C-alpha cells in the first residue's frame, strides 16, 4: 500500500470517481448524525479543486484506490470550522501555519480498510510532525461512541509519536423539544 498526496484535482472524471467512493463511504453515516456528514457534490468538487487542501490517496499494490482523506493547514479552506478559534487558542502555531485539520478520512469497508486507514493517518501525522504542528479533526457522537474514533486515533498517534496528548476542545449538542400533541 502507498499513500500519494495531491494538491489539486481538476479532471472531472477523476472527481466523479472520487465522489462515488466518498458518497458510498459516508452515505450511511449521514443519517446517524444531526450535522450533515456528506458534502454536496458541488462542495466535494470544490474541495478536490482547492490547492489549499491536500488530498491523500491510499492505493493498493495494483494502484487501486482504497482510501481518501483531506488535510490542510490553511484553516480558511475548511467551511465548518472557525479559524478565529484556532488563532485565539494557539496564536503562535496559527501564525506559523502549524495547525493541521483533517476534513475526512474515507476508506472502503473491505479487508484493506484498517491498513488503508492506518496508512492515511500515518501520512497526515508525518506531515504535521515534520513541522512540530498539531492536528485537529472532528467526530460525530455515533463515530465516537460506536467506533471509538477518538481512542483509535489517539492510540495510533501514540504508537507513531511515542507520546501524544489528546483533548476534546469543543462539543456541540443538538436538542429536540417535543410536545405531547406533536408526538
Give the CATH number, domain containing residue 9.
3.40.630.30
- Looking at the domain assignment, is residue 174 inside a domain? no
Give me the number of domains the chain comprises. Answer: 1
- Looking at the domain assignment, is residue 65 inside a domain? yes
Is 87 in contact with 38 (CB distance < 8 Å)? no
- Looking at the domain assignment, is residue 24 inside a domain? yes
Rounded distance between C-alpha atoms, residue 134 and residue 147, angstroms? 23
Mean pLDDT of 5-26: 94
Mean pLDDT of 13-17: 96
- What pLDDT score was predicted for residue 34? 82
Question: What are the tens digits of pLDDT across the range 87-143?
Answer: 999 999 999 999 999 999 999 877 556 789 999 999 999 999 999 999 999 988 877
- Looking at the domain assignment, is residue 167 inside a domain? no
- What pLDDT score was predicted for residue 92? 98
- Looking at the domain assignment, is residue 10 inside a domain? yes
- Looking at the domain assignment, is residue 123 inside a domain? yes
DSSP letter string, 109-164? SSTTHHHHHHHHHHHHHHHHHTTT-EEE----HHHHHHH-HHHHHHHHHHHHHS--
- Looking at the domain assignment, is residue 181 inside a domain? no
- Looking at the domain assignment, is residue 180 inside a domain? no
Query: In terms of residue numbers, what domain contains 81?
Result: 2-161
pLDDT level of residue 182 (50, 70, 90 thresholds): low
Rounded distance between C-alpha atoms, residue 183 and residue 172, angstroms? 25
Residues facing residue 3 across a β-bridge: 58
Whether pTM > 0.75 for this model: the answer is: yes
Amino acid at each position: 500500500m502507498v499513500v500519494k498526496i495531491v494538491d489539486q484535482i481538476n479532471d472531472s472524471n477523476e472527481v466523479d470517481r472520487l465522489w462515488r467512493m466518498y458518497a458510498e463511504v459516508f452515505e450511511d453515516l449521514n443519517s446517524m448524525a444531526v450535522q450533515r456528514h456528506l458534502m454536496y457534490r458541488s462542495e466535494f468538487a470544490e474541495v478536490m479543486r482547492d490547492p489549499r487542501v491536500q488530498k491523500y490517496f491510499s492505493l493498493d499494490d495494483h494502484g487501486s484506490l482504497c482510501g481518501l482523506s483531506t488535510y490542510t493547514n490553511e484553516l480558511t479552506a475548511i467551511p465548518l470550522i472557525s479559524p478565529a478559534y484556532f488563532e485565539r487558542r494557539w496564536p503562535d502555531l496559527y501564525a506559523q501555519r502549524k495547525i493541521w485539520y483533517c476534513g475526512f478520512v474515507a476508506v472502503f469497508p473491505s479487508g484493506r480498510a484498517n491498513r488503508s486507514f492506518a496508512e492515511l493517518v500515518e501520512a497526515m501525522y508525518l506531515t504535521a510532525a515534520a513541522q512540530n504542528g498539531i492536528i485537529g479533526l472532528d467526530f460525530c457522537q455515533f463515530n465516537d461512541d460506536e467506533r471509538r474514533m477518538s481512542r483509535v486515533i489517539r492510540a495510533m498517534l501514540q504508537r507513531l509519536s511515542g507520546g501524544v496528548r489528546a483533548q476534546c476542545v469543543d462539543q456541540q449538542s443538538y436538542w429536540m423539544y417535543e410536545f405531547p400533541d406533536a408526538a
